[in-house]
Amino acid sequence: MNVIGKRNHVSNLKKYWQLYVMLILPVVYLLIFNYYPMLGAQIAFRDFSARAGIWGSEWVGLSHFQDFINSHMFWPVLRNTLVISAYSILAAIPLPIILALSLNSVRNKLYKHNIQILTYMPHFISTVVMVGILRQMLHPHIGLLANINQMFGTSFSDPFASASAFPHLLVWSRVWQRVGWSSIIYFAALSSVDPTLHEAAVVDGSSRFQRILFVDFPTILPVFVINIIISMGQVMSVGFERVFLMQTDLNITASEIISTYVYRVGLTGVPDFGSATAINLFNSIINLILIVSANYIAKKVSGSGLF
């Protein structure tokens, strides 16, 4: 069987050699920019010195991990990361599905396309510009909401100065920016629904909501499961740019997450590259465990998974 398998592989290689040649550049790109940099992860286990280099620095084992776990910042940054990430998943996953299912039921094509364009557009606004828009609109003195409140004689407090408001501001601004773009994959899945299924459901007396629930939703369920698995693998990766740009001294208790803490440890003050690498590697290991666990559970429950 092994000989036959090898012969088939050689035969396929000769037959489809053009496809294998096309794979060379992507594979080389992955090796250079994704796999080769992994050698630098050993900094997490060394007392890194720029003069000695990575290989010449003293090996310290797990001491950087122990220092992070025993530090006073471990639980606050871990809690903030988990809270914001869980909040983002709960808010971001259902809304693209609801948008796709709702617009898929709209018969007016012009209205449908216009709504799609309007919901896609925020995705193309950069994170820096988006945070700038938020700061302008929510400025306590010259912002749009502040002016509206002044018209009615009410006061307006700065949400960027509130630790309790930070998670809501972060999550819902991100949801608004991504909900339309995230719904594209569900629109693509819904395009494969057989129209005869809807016709049969109408003959059976099913309402529009029942057709959405029992015809459309099962079609996008595999895509939904894959998105859940991918989201679980990003639980610890809330995102650095938006959080960092929205972070202030007044909301730091709720906005300091692992990625921003890695930046502070590794690049501000006296840089500690070993500790920063260890913290980031700890973050990646947790993500790997979560995505593998989510995939295993999804395959057991629904029969479909990412790998």
Mean pLDDT of the chain: 86
Percentage of the chain with pLDDT > 70?
Answer: 96
Does position 180 have pLDDT exceeding 70, yes or no?
Answer: yes
Average pLDDT over residues 52-61: 88
pLDDT digits (tens, 9 = 90+) for 7-54: 677 777 778 888 888 989 999 999 999 899 888 889 999 988 888 888
pLDDT digits (tens, 9 = 90+) for 258-268: 989 999 998 88
pLDDT score at 29: 95
Does position 126 have pLDDT exceeding 50, yes or no?
Answer: yes
Listed in sequence order, the residues at least 6 apart from 148 whose beta carbon sits closer than 8 Å to its beta carbon are none
Q: Where are the domains of the chain?
A: 68-127+160-301
CATH architecture entry for 68-127+160-301: Orthogonal Bundle (1.10)
Does position 2 have pLDDT exceeding 70, yes or no?
Answer: no
Does position 1 have pLDDT exceeding 50, yes or no?
Answer: no
Q: In whole angstroms, what separates CA 67 from the centre of its chain?
A: 28
Does position 304 have pLDDT exceeding 70, yes or no?
Answer: no
pLDDT score at 64: 92
Average pLDDT over residues 208-237: 82
More confident residue, 157 or 131: 131
Percentage of the chain with pLDDT > 90?
Answer: 23
Coil/strand/helix, residue 59? strand
Listed in sequence order, the residues at least 6 apart from 155 whose beta carbon sits closer than 8 Å to its beta carbon are 149
pLDDT digits (tens, 9 = 90+) for 72-88: 999 999 999 989 988 98
Closest CA to 263 of 287, 285, 286, 247: 247
Does position 240 have pLDDT exceeding 60, yes or no?
Answer: yes
pTM of the shown model: 0.81
pLDDT digits (tens, 9 = 90+) for 129-145: 999 999 888 888 888 88
Average pLDDT over residues 218-247: 82
Closest CA to 247 of 72, 80, 9, 33: 80
Does position 306 have pLDDT exceeding 70, yes or no?
Answer: no
Least confident of 102-106, 164-168, 193-197, 303-307: 303-307
pLDDT score at 256: 92
Residue 290 to residue 307: CA distance in whole angstroms: 14
Torsions phi, psi of 108, nearest 5?
-75, 105
DSSP conformational letter for 214: I
